[in-house]
Amino acid sequence: MARRRTLLRAAVLGAPAAALLARSAAAGAALASGDHVPALVIGSGYGGAVTALRLTQSGIATAVVEMGMAWNTAGSDGKVFCNVLNPDQRSYWLRTSTDQPIGYFLGISANKSIGRYTGVLDSEKFAGIRVYQGRGVGGGSLVNGGMAVVPRRDYFAQILPSVDLASMYDTYFPRANTGLGVNAIDPAWFETAECYRFARVGRDQAKASGYPTTFLNNVYDFAYMKQEQANTVPRSALASEVIYGNNHGKRSLDKTYLAAAAATGRLSITAQHVVTAVVPSSAGGYSVTMNQIDTAGAVVATKTVRADKVFFAAGSVGTSKLLVAMRALGKLPNLPDAVGQGWGNNGNVMVARANHIWNTTGALESGMPAMGIDNWADSAGPVFAEIAPFPAGTELWISLYLAITKNPNRAAFSFDSSTGGVGLNWQTAWNQPAIDAAKRVFDTINKKQVTVYRSDLFGVNKVWGDDFTYHPLGGCILNQATDNYGRLPGYPGLYVMDGSLIPGSTGVNPFVTITALAERNIEQILTIDSF
Ligand code: FAE
């Protein structure tokens, strides 16, 4: 193994970052049973990518294990990803029909049959909520809308009081923004671009009702988008690409943090492997068991490797499920009771309004949102609502919003010994505080504009998209289930690095918070812990 890593390092020096990442994820770099690695990272989303970069930069050979695919090979249409207008097997994780967030149109199901495949977006169903998550090398960065928003300082202080605010805002948020490649939209271009007509309409209507709006930074390259609008490059955000991946323009983690980690020559990525168990090893460190799967999800091999340190970065749901199962099965019996607690949906609720015929939102809508309505200061119902695109490729007169609210309800994960699975006890009705807060804003806008809600998009006669979330957070809260830097108590060398550390809410879109917190934690871990 050591020899193979040395060879890998020698082979990759000098190659471009994308090629390095491809090689890090190539079959030859995959873990084999019996391997012993200094550091193993479960999951390649934000927490995992930050961890991989900072470990490899510190000279530590790091193995990332990711259940999804590497997403570096074009399909028969010449594209790696499909768009939202023509979803095919690449869209969803192991489903035989799509499960679109906006699942209806005119009250009729808008979903269609697809081949069962390890697609890029998972709609994971629990009793009272569907949780959308990215699957692949890059995690949620592959599917998300790229909005890169730093949370309000006073709200961050409320949700994570044990974290030093000055260092977060002076050091780690700026570091995260740099690492992620965050950029700002050109406001003058925004005013004229056809693809943001929908956002200008949303802004003007909000302003007319007294609600302030704000531009949202993004990791999508706005300079590239300008060229898309000018028709000088292949279109991605302007070709209805979002939620099932972007073929161009987006600085997803495979292009940023993971590419930089690969450039050190110390990274291996083992894709299409699902970690199923982590147990202390009698030889030292931890035994990590994983199932290698094919593109239909069938297990083709089971492998066990040994790692001195294991970083859980499988996302809020993935990490919580694994740890809750390990505790229940007696494999990590001393994990604290707080593991599995404190899960929230970031107060997500979606809603759409029907505009008048003269108030067109445009047939061309950028898949990347660029503006939000900021009513967070309203103590009776704080709301931060992104003005979301509906990139149908035709005029629909629809204004769509994803509202982030301060829903206080929290759910817990628990192991079901009869199925061997882990459930989440969130109930759909627990989203009522989110609906109430969003209603204050959108009822007011409707009244002022003399417009109505669309009730045909989230079900038959259903106004609120209240039964799904894009923003799972919590389950392994910092300074409760872990110490103040993500270390799991009682198990030296086990760490949590992802969105499960954040107690159910950030008040804004969460990936910058997850990235910055991971930057903070890994710096401390590398300084204090011995590797
Ligand atoms: P995540 O990125 O989910 O990475 C976890 C990784 O672990 C995934 O790649 C999994 O496949 C993998 N994994 C899970 N279990 C296992 C296992 N057992 N073995 C191996 N691998 C495993 O976690 N946030 C924003 O800030 N701005 C946005 O514009 C935005 N838009 C979004 C749009 C959509 C459609 C979705 C679904 C999410 C959006 N989000 C957005 C949320 C954001 O993507 C999410 O908060 C982060 O991706 C979470 O980062 P983590 O590192 O926690």
**pLDDT tens track for 212-252:** 999 999 999 999 999 999 999 999 999 999 999 999 999 99
- Per the rule left: phi > 0, alpha: psi between -120 and 50, beta: everything else, 422 is beta
Q: Is the CB of 314 under 6 A from ligand 1?
A: yes
User: Lowest mean pLDDT: which of 4-18, 169-183, 304-318, 354-368?
Assistant: 4-18
Give 419-473 pLDDT, tens digit per residue.
Answer: 999 999 999 999 999 999 999 999 999 999 999 999 999 999 999 999 999 999 9
User: In this model, does residue 93 exceed pLDDT 60?
Assistant: yes
- The more confident residue out of 28 and 32 is 32
432 three-class SS = helix
**Which residue in the list 124, 365, 386, 519 is annotated as catalytic?**
386
CA of 45 to the centre of ligand 1 (A): 6
Residue 523 is among the residues annotated as catalytic for this protein: no
Residue 84, judged by CB atoms within 10 A of its CB (0-12, 13-18, 19+), counts as buried
Q: Is the CB of 98 under 6 A from ligand 1?
A: no
pLDDT at 460: 93
CA of 371 to the centre of ligand 1 (A): 22
> What b-and-e string marks burial along 136-172, b requiring 16 or more CB atoms within 10 Å of the CB?
bbbbbbbbbbbbbbbbbeebbeebbeebeeeebeeeb
CA of 191 to the centre of ligand 1 (A): 32
CA of 196 to the centre of ligand 1 (A): 26
Give 296-333 pLDDT, tens digit per residue.
Answer: 999 999 999 999 999 999 999 999 999 999 999 999 99
- Percentage of the chain beyond pLDDT 90 is 94
User: In this model, does residue 126 exceed pLDDT 60?
Assistant: yes
CA 492, CA 499: separation in Å to the nearest integer? Answer: 21
Query: What are residue 303's DSSP bridge partners?
Result: 290
CA 178, CA 432: separation in Å to the nearest integer? Answer: 37
pLDDT at 9: 40
Band (1; pLDDT cuts 50, 70, 90): very low
> What b-and-e string marks burial along 311-350, b requiring 16 or more CB atoms within 10 Å of the CB?
bbbbbbbbbbbbbbbbbbeebbeebbebbbbbbbbbbbbb
pLDDT at 12: 41
pLDDT at 28: 64
Q: Is the CB of 122 under 6 A from ligand 1?
A: no
Give 141-156 pLDDT, tens digit per residue.
Answer: 999 999 999 999 999 9
Q: Is the CB of 507 under 6 A from ligand 1?
A: no
Mean of pLDDT values over 473-501: 98
Tokens standing for residue 519: 């930057």
Q: Is the CB of 139 under 6 A from ligand 1?
A: yes
Q: Is the CB of 144 under 6 A from ligand 1?
A: yes
Mean pLDDT of the residues in the chain: 95
User: Lowest mean pLDDT: which of 18-27, 67-76, 86-95, 456-465?
Assistant: 18-27
Residue 365 is among the residues annotated as catalytic for this protein: no
Mean of pLDDT values over 11-19: 59
CA 59, CA 349: separation in Å to the nearest integer? Answer: 43
- The more confident residue out of 264 and 7 is 264
For ligand 1, mutation pick of 135, 276, 511 (most atoms within 8 Å of CB): 511
pLDDT at 27: 66
For residues 485 and 477, the answer to whether their CB atoms sit within 8 Å is no
User: In this model, does residue 210 exceed pLDDT 70?
Assistant: yes
pLDDT at 19: 80
Shortest CA distance to 161 belongs to which of 480, 408, 497? Answer: 480
User: In this model, does residue 95 exceed pLDDT 70?
Assistant: yes
**8-state DSSP, 169:** I
366 Cβ neighbours under 8 A, 6+ residues apart: 193, 195, 196, 225, 237, 238, 389, 391
Tokens standing for residue 336: 């604290």
CA of 44 to the centre of ligand 1 (A): 9
**8-state DSSP, 277:** E
User: Lowest mean pLDDT: which of 18-22, 76-80, 179-183, 290-294?
Assistant: 18-22
Q: List Cα–Cα distances, 204 to 191, 212, 387, in angstroms.
A: 12, 10, 11
Q: pTM (2 decimals)?
A: 0.97
Q: Is the CB of 514 under 6 A from ligand 1?
A: yes
CA 420, CA 459: separation in Å to the nearest integer? Answer: 32
Give 483-495 pLDDT, tens digit per residue.
Answer: 999 999 999 999 9
Length of the chain counted residue by residue: 531
Shortest CA distance to 401 belongs to which of 378, 422, 384? Answer: 384
User: In this model, does residue 286 exceed pLDDT 50?
Assistant: yes
What does residue 316 show for φ and ψ, rounded to 5 degrees? -55, -45
CA 367, CA 235: separation in Å to the nearest integer? Answer: 11
Residues 99, 401, 499, 468: is their CA dihedral positive or negative? negative
